[in-house]
Structure 1
Amino acid sequence: MERKGCTVKKKAAIGDWAAGCSAFSWETEDQRHLWGRNFDFNRIADGSNVTYIPRGRDFYTFGTELEDSLDRDTRQTTDYAAVGVGVLLFPSTPVLYEGINEKGLMGGQLYYREFACFPQEKEDGRLPLQPPFAVTYFLTKCATVQEVIERLQEVTLVGQPLLGTVPTIHWTFSDQTGETIIIEPDQDGVHVYRDTGGVMTNSPGYPWHRLNLLNYVHIRDLDYDERKLGGISLNQCFSGSGALGLPGDWSSPSRFVRLSCLKHYAVKGKTEKEGVAYMFRLFQSVAFPYGMVKVTENGVLTEYDREVTPYDYTVYTSVMCAESLRFYWTTYRNSRIQYVDLRTLLSQDSCLQFELNKEEDFLCLTAQGEY
């Protein structure tokens, strides 16, 4: 699909870099700043694991050696170490789907189907940046969301295919100030939204989602008391009536509304540990149950796609903390919260990967004789 100098393609490669996904930022009572996301899709790229990128590593923002398209003039060096879920498929550039860096900047990419629009050529004087490399670029070159905004003015997000596809994605970043920005590449240019509610899902764009919240201003956390209707007194006999009308499906608009309400009303954790646990619970409210979101079209499968299923589902959920620099995650079948500590990894000078550990993990107390 061509749109006035934009490139939008639907051919799939490495999961099309395109998934459902929901994300939001939060904070704890003791002012720990958190950001996280669900990764919803029907597959995951081969080699996708928790990936650490050290500072001082060279990488490129355009092209790959794998496809003999590497633009060596785009070489950069990482200023900050970062960790998140990603792949090391391209030796020239590690790819992160989301993550956190050593300065507490957090963020990632989400699917933006039918709306993402990128120019086919770079602008003079600007660094060409392929969309799949954007998370890696901003997390390893920026310390704050303000720096992300400034760096964005120096690059062109070029719609050059990577492994046969131009990914339809948009981005969100958050930092220790608590501000969360949303970046959307639309037909009329790249838009940066500040002072957001910190919630992001998929298409349509952020302004549409924000306006749509007007349809749900009646939602509240307090049950309704006795009501009189046509001379009949109706006594409350169940809990949760304050949220009547809150959408419960898995569409992007519904997930945006649901997360916005949950973020506003849900009790914050007192500490990072409690806040992270609560945040994973909120993400379950917008997670894709396996079998409820059937895939209508797989697209073109490649040699790099793994664990392909007939359904979109929440492959993994990640949460990170800007102060402790910990990256936490769970997977669909393994709800035990695992984490890596970026502060501990800073002494490492080469890329590392940690398994997602997607298999079931149960703790049997009777086996330990504790009864």
Structure 2
Amino acid sequence: MCTSIAFSAPYPLFGRNLDLETPFGQQVVATPRSFAFHFHRRPAMPHHLAMIGMATVAGGVPLYAEAMNEAGLYMAGLNFPGNAYYTPADQAAPDAVAPYELIPLVLGSCRTLKEAREILTGIDLLGIPFAPGYPLAPLHWHIADGTGALVMEVTAEGSRLYEDPVGVLTNNPPFPVQLANLTGYQTLSAAPPENRFAPGVPLPPYGQGMGAIGLPGDCSPMSRFVRAAFLKCNSIHSAGDDAVNQFFRILDAVAMVRGSVMTPEGKPDMTLYSCCADPARGVYYFKTYDNSRIHAVNLLRAPLEANTLCCWPLPGGHGFEALN
């Protein structure tokens, strides 16, 4: 369960909530240009664009949940159970890519969404896990830069790339269904409501926000898609710090409170962290469920020509600031 958001203009920002019932060893990881990436069926990539995002590091390899590269291209993997399809190894194409290899491949080699589209079109995903104990996660992907956003879904019917006009992705159902569902909410507005029910009857609004009555408030993927799209499309912000703060406000509105969503195993699904990547400044911002203070890591201040990972463990505590 996750929500990814991409603002492409006028001030590009990208990020997501990662919702999960248990931590996965996540930390902020910057991969410099000379850290070698290795692939099952493609040539190694000893030199590439630097990137930063949230990852778990296993066997010295960053397994990114989402990341942004130094050129400002963003990519995130979101849960897509029951629909994601990976080709068995004995049937996969000679250049097939394992799901965990996809973000390094795209962000390491592509500077723009246009270039990402070219490499992702018709790509075959290889059904090989990273290692024993690391099951294949069923995913689809959100890809964006300052020109727009794409959704990539690979199902049993094949690989598809979709234009994302609202800049939002959640989970199931598939993206075309999510987008079509917005049609049922097109009468919602941030403005006060107009009485079309009975124009001759005095029906004065009794409070602010009534133009959006009917906006779903539950945590299901389709409801989060609608709510995030409405908030993003009606957001008023400028640039810089104001835009980043607004971005987190939107993510807060689709975040999961611990205990409000329980998995079939009886565990609380919750927003482990929220993040925002600012390509104009090369900064990756994040906050965690237990520490709501926004922290920042600047990719451009990392040793970009190095060949070893730069890792920042997530801060503990609640981050309260005493004023007296």
TM-score tier by shorter-chain length is over 0.9
- Relative distance call for 1:33 and 1:250 in structure 2 (3 A) is same
Task: Identify the match of residue 244 of structure 2 among 276, 295, 298.
Answer: 276
Give the structure-1-normalised TM-score.
0.81
> Are the equivalent residues in 2 in contact too, given 1:84–1:96 (CA < 8 A)?
yes
User: Following TM superposition, by how much is the alpha carbon of 1:335 offset from its aligned partner in structure 2, in angstroms?
Assistant: 1.2
User: How do 1:8-157 and structure 2 match up within 5 A?
Assistant: 20-27=1-8, 31-46=10-25, 48-62=26-40, 74-91=43-60, 93-121=61-89, 126-153=94-121, 155-157=123-125
Task: Identify the match of residue 202 of structure 2 among 233, 236, 252.
Answer: 233
User: How do 1:159-170 and structure 2 match up within 5 A?
Assistant: 159-162=127-130, 163-164=132-133, 165-170=135-140
Structure possessing the higher radius of gyration over alpha carbons: 1
Question: What amino acid sits opposite 2:298 in the alignment?
Answer: D
User: Following TM superposition, by how much is the alpha carbon of 1:197 offset from its aligned partner in structure 2, in angstroms?
Assistant: 1.8
Distance 2:180 2:215 in 1: 16
SS at match of 1:38: strand
CA shift digits 1:61-116 (9 cap, x unpaired): 23xxxxxxxx7x6522241111100022123x321111111111112100001110
Task: Tell me whether 1:338 sits opposite 2:316 in the alignment.
Answer: no
SS at match of 2:229: helix
> Are the equivalent residues in 2 in contact too, given 1:81–1:346 (CA < 8 A)?
no
Task: Tell me whether 1:180 sits opposite 2:149 in the alignment.
Answer: yes
- Relative distance call for 1:87 and 1:320 in structure 2 (3 A) is same
Distance 1:122 1:25 in 2: 36
Question: What amino acid sits opposite 1:214 in the alignment?
Answer: T
Distance 1:186 1:353 in 2: 34
SS at match of 2:45: strand
Give the structure-2-normalised TM-score.
0.92
Question: What amino acid sits opposite 1:150 in the alignment?
Answer: E
Gaps of 5+ in 2: none
Q: Considering only aligned residues, what root-mean-square deviation do their CA atoms show, in Å?
A: 2.2
SS at match of 1:336: coil
- Relative distance call for 1:283 and 1:124 in structure 2 (3 A) is closer
> Are the equivalent residues in 1 in contact too, given 2:8–2:146 (CA < 8 A)?
no
Distance 1:26 1:341 in 2: 19
**Match in the other structure for 2:323:** 365
CA shift digits 1:103-160 (9 cap, x unpaired): 1111210000111011113778742311122112211121111211222248531112
- Relative distance call for 1:189 and 1:124 in structure 2 (3 A) is closer
**Match in the other structure for 2:190:** 221
Task: Identify the match of residue 312 of structure 1 among 269, 274, 278.
Answer: 269
- Greater mean deviation of Cα atoms: 129-138 or 34-43: 129-138
Distance 2:229 2:81 in 1: 21
> Are the equivalent residues in 2 in contact too, given 1:34–1:322 (CA < 8 A)?
yes
- Relative distance call for 1:155 and 1:77 in structure 2 (3 A) is farther
Gaps of 5+ in 1: 1-19, 63-70, 299-309, 367-371
Q: How many residues align?
A: 321
Question: What amino acid sits opposite 1:22 in the alignment?
Answer: T
Report percent identity of matched pairs: 28
